Amino acid sequence: MELFYSREIAAGERVLDRQESGHCIKVLRHREGDTIHIVDGCGCLYRCRITKADPNATVFEVEETIEGYGAHPYHLTMAVAPPKNIDRFEWFCEKATETGVDVIVPIVGDYSERKVFKGDRCERIIISAAKQSHKGAIPSLAALTPVREFLMRDFAPGTQKYICYCSDVEGAQKIHIREALAAAPDSRDFVVMIGPEGDFSRDEISLALAHGWQLISLGDSRLRIETAALTATSAVYLSRV
């Protein structure tokens, strides 16, 4: 089953945009009267019938609305420092979307190699991954955010805030993400921070500890940024579904 995407459908819009219309009519050769399925990117799937098979502006009517389509039973924000090679970050965005993530926040810290980030390509990759893996909700991609600003941000009460750090910190407890997840069996809200190749700075970690972040480890393997980020995403996914 092919999914189309229209963020405006929830607001009453009944026309597919040019790109989706072209794909629907020119590529998939849908005709008037055909049933198609559209997601709004916010969790709803709409079963629709084409009333005007226009390759530039396909018109449809909604026959059924299914909420929480392809939803996962947790809310996960992944804050990750994009590596120099942006393909690796785009790859993480695709795989995390398939697995189950809600918000992706590219972060820039003291030891970041990459200080600029353009999200357009990532946005497209996330949307197509969400459609391909049949998710009604499309993860949102935030703008590049300074690590310090993110560390001091307020999250929903009960949110588990994990920060991956390779070194040990005197006087601070660091636990395996598996243990952290097991220690909070009823939690459904998670935020995980993954730093750059050079990791977070000591100052950033001190700020994290001062703001109630839990230091976590992902085990002994030396993982690239994007692999660590997906491993953490999988850890949350595997522990909650």
Binding site for a copy of itself (CB under 8 A): 70, 72, 91, 95, 98-100, 132-134, 176-178, 218-224, 227, 230-231, 234-235, 237-239, 241
Q: Least distance from C-beta 235 to a copy of itself, angstroms?
A: 5
Q: Residue 34 or 98: which CB sits closer to a copy of itself?
A: 98
> If you count them, how many residues does the chain have?
241
Whole-Å CA distances, 91 to 35, 83, 97, 99, 234: 32, 11, 10, 12, 14
Q: Residue 115 or 222: which CB sits closer to a copy of itself?
A: 222
Report how far residue 140's alpha carbon sits from residue 180's, in angstroms, rounded to the nearest whole number.
25
Q: Residue 132 or 167: which CB sits closer to a copy of itself?
A: 132
Find, among 67, 80, 78, 76, the residue nearest to 39 by Cα: 67
Q: Least distance from C-beta 59 to a copy of itself, angstroms?
A: 29
Q: Least distance from C-beta 94 to a copy of itself, angstroms?
A: 9
Buried b (16+ CB within 10 A) or exposed e, 155-187: eeeeebbbbbbeeeeeeeebeebeebbeeeeeb
Q: Residue 206 or 227: which CB sits closer to a copy of itself?
A: 227
